[in-house]
């Protein structure tokens, strides 16, 4: 399996950094080759243009922006979803990673 790119998007790109770490740990434990990174909502558009992204996961605080990103994501073949609020609040990296992997199937 080729390395997969998962982009998390939040208001400032900082609140998701702990979630990224937990997702990376879960991916390592499973032997998965994934690149997981977080960006602010302002940076997301340019990242979509410059990087091959497989999945875009929006933090609950920017769920209202899903429509804004969806058209561009669909054009580029990027799966997009909003992170479950409970999983986000609990920083459940394993469940968020599971959802991202589901979206890639």
Q: What is the CATH number of the domain that holds 13?
A: 3.40.50.2300
- Domain interval for residue 40: 4-104
Strands, E, within the chain: which ranges?
4-10, 34-40, 55-58, 79-82
**What local confidence, expressed as pLDDT, does residue 85 receive?**
96
Instruction: Provide the 8-state DSSP code for 95.
Output: H
Prediction pTM value? 0.94
pLDDT at 1 over 60: no
How many distinct structural domains can be found in the chain?
1
Q: Which two tokens stand for residue 55?
A: 């999945």
How far is 71 from 15, CA to CA, in rounded Å? 25
- Confidence band (pLDDT; 50, 70, 90) for 13? low
Structure confidence by residue, pLDDT tens digits, 19-30: 999 999 999 999
Is pLDDT at 2 greater than 90 in this prediction?
Answer: no
Distance in angstroms (rounded) separating the CA atoms of residues 84 and 91: 10
Kindly provide the b/e burial profile for residues 38-60, where b requires at least 16 CB atoms within 10 angstroms of the residue's own CB: bbbbeebeebbeeeebbbbbbbb
CB neighbour list of residue 95: distance below 8 Å, 6 or more residues apart? 84, 87
The per-residue pLDDT for range 35-85, each reduced to its tens digit, is 999 999 999 999 999 999 999 999 999 999 999 999 999 999 999 999 999
Whether 22 sits among the annotated catalytic residues: the reply is: no
In the chain, what percentage of residues exceed pLDDT 90? 90
Q: Which candidate in 8, 9, 10, 58 is catalytic?
A: 10
């Amino acid at each position: 399996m080729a390395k997969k790119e998962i982009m998390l998007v939040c208001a400032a790109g900082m609140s998701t950094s702990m979630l990224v770490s937990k997702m990376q740990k879960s991916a390592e434990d499973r032997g998965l080759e994934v690149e997981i990174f977080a960006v602010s909502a302002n940076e997301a558009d340019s990242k979509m243009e410059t990087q091959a992204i497989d999945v875009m996961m929006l933090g609950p605080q920017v769920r209202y922006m899903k429509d804004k990103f969806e058209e561009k994501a669909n054009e580029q073949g990027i799966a997009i979803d909003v992170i479950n609020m409970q999983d986000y609040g609990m920083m459940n990296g394993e469940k968020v990673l599971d959802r991202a992997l589901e979206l890639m199937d």
